[in-house]
Chains A and B, each alone.
Chain A
Amino acid sequence: MKHVAKSFGTKEVLRDVNLSVNAEESLVLIGTSGCGKSVLLKCLLDLISADSGSITVDGQELIGADRETMEQMRRRFGMTFQFGALFDSLPIWENVTFRMRHQQKMKRAEARDLAVETITQLGLSPMVIDQYPAELSGGMQKRVALARAIADKPEILLFDEPTSGLDPITGGVIDRLIIDAVQRLGATTMTISHDMASVRRIADKVAMIHNGVIIWCGPVADMDNSGVPEVDQFVHGRAEGPLTTAAQEAARQG
């Protein structure tokens, strides 16, 4: 990503984002709530159109790409959303195999087998495949969302707060499942997380976004000694610091 910018009306959410992820690398994006992490992830898939800049995947430019190119590119991606975004009207097996059923015309029996295989890998009982998302707990829904993202064996995985709203133990389990799945697929991942324990478990590289730009990016091992006050405050969860001052200033300006 080079010089990516996105505004909503007069509000500049992304000003000049520059970021790169290597193949099979696990990058975690951190930053305060509302700083534009989810917007950046959605710009990558053109779910939200970036105003300017350049986003390339294996040399293919995505900003301004035509619909067909973007649809081809999306087939290489799998994504989980913050609140799962499972389809309420479909049972679990159809959620998990949605892409294969609709794009590859996979037969029903084959799809059910694939759903069972995928959710079993993620520690869910095959009994749930005929249930609907609303009948599952939050942790189970996250697993199903993960199953849907990896079922078609994508090359690139995007996770938007995969452990938010979960207890620490379930969060740890989800992290373990993500690591296993990514290793099995050899996928490149971009994850948004506020959970520093989770960040330390799943990241190879960490990038922090603040005021619409990447203010620090480096190996997860260097995160505690970044030398950037904002990163230091965020990583250690301190109430006082430059991020708090910036938030108060933004609130004062409305």
Chain B
Amino acid sequence: MTSFLQNIGRAALGFLAALGRITLFTADAVKWTFCPPYYLRQFLRQVIDIGYLSLPVVGLTTLFSGMVLALQSYTGFARFSAEDTVATVVVLSVTRELGPVLAGLMVAGRIGASMAAEIGTMRVTDQIDALDTLSTRPMQYLVAPRILAGTICLPFLVLVGDLIGVFGGYIVGVYRLGFNPSIYLSRTMEYLEFSDVTLGLIKAAVFGFLIALMGCYHGYNSGRGAEGVGRATTNAVVSSSILILIANYIVTAIFFG
């Protein structure tokens, strides 16, 4: 019984210690994001990596999700003769929920892992210490550009993903389910409000921040050797995916109604 309680206590203390470390890391990262010097080339490199090179995977994911959503919602709504709401359901689901969450999860897998692996490798090969010896703050050179790029790029990615997802629904609605194209489009726009899109974009910015933060944090604190870097990569993907789902609820609840 005593050892059981000891284990619980140890786990709780470990969790609080990790939370403290992440909080301090976040505060440091945010602080250095706004302090000069700014490493523009590092930032642009991340913009290309996060924003541009993630487009195919996000585009494909949202395209097929939009297509599936149109099919599934048609099946459901046909049961109570509400087929004409399919376009509205697709556009609201994609902009408010599916676009940001799916893009976030895909980018977490692609970018979170690569950030953790790159920074983790730099940690175990002394490249981060080398930065310090060359009078360059690693938080400013490595972490700040990634966090800034993640926060800025994900909303743009999601915006493109939203368009592609809605287009996927349109393809299925018009060519598979036989909707009139102009009616489908007018239904798409009829109930869509500006706040639906902005909610999705706010979520995307939060997710982008979390993905970059977790990738950098786990890489920066990577253990030794290939095993340490591997574990950092896994932890970055798992923790950012979980945080995306938690943040998704929190942001939705804040803006609900």
Q: Which residues of A contact B (CB under 8 A)?
A: 42, 45, 47, 71, 74-75, 77-79, 81-83, 85-88, 98-99, 102-103, 148
Contact = CB atoms under 8 A, between A and B. Distances in A.
B132 interface: yes
B11 to A, nearest CB: 19
B72 interface: no
A79 B135 CA distance: 12
8 contacts: A45-B133, A77-B133, A79-B133, A81-B130, A83-B126, A99-B135, A102-B39, A103-B135
B129 A85 contact: yes
Max chain A C-beta neighbours (<10 A), residue from B122, B132, B134:
B134
A99 B127 CA distance: 14
B225 interface: no
Contact of B127 (A42, A71, A77, A85): A85
B135 A85 contact: no
Nearest to A100: B134
Contacts of B129: 42, 47, 81, 85
Which of A75, A79, A81, A85 has the most C-beta atoms of chain B within 10 angstroms of its own C-beta? A85
The 4 closest A-B pairs by CB, nearest first: A85-B126, A85-B130, A81-B126, A99-B134
Interface residues of B, number: 15
Contacts of A85: 125-127, 129-130
B125 A71 contact: no
Given A83-B126, A88-B127, A102-B37, A47 B132 contact: yes
A52 to B, nearest CB: 22
Contact of B136 (A79, A83, A102): A102
B127 A74 contact: no
A74 B130 contact: no
A74 B37 contact: no
Contacts of A87: 122, 127, 130
B225 to A, nearest CB: 12
Contacts of A81: 126, 129-130
A83 B129 CA distance: 12
B125 to A, nearest CB: 6
Contacts of A75: 135
A76 to B, nearest CB: 10
Contacts of B132: 45, 47, 74
Given A78-B133, A86-B127, 9 more contacts: A71-B135, A74-B134, A79-B130, A81-B130, A87-B130, A98-B134, A102-B134, A102-B141, A103-B134
Contacts of B135: 71, 74-75, 99, 102-103
A9 to B, nearest CB: 14
Nearest to B37: A102
Contacts of B136: 98-99, 102-103
Contacts of B133: 45, 47, 74, 77-79
Interface string B109-143: 00000000000011001110110111110000100
Nearest to B132: A47
A103 B127 CA distance: 17
Contacts of B126: 81-83, 85
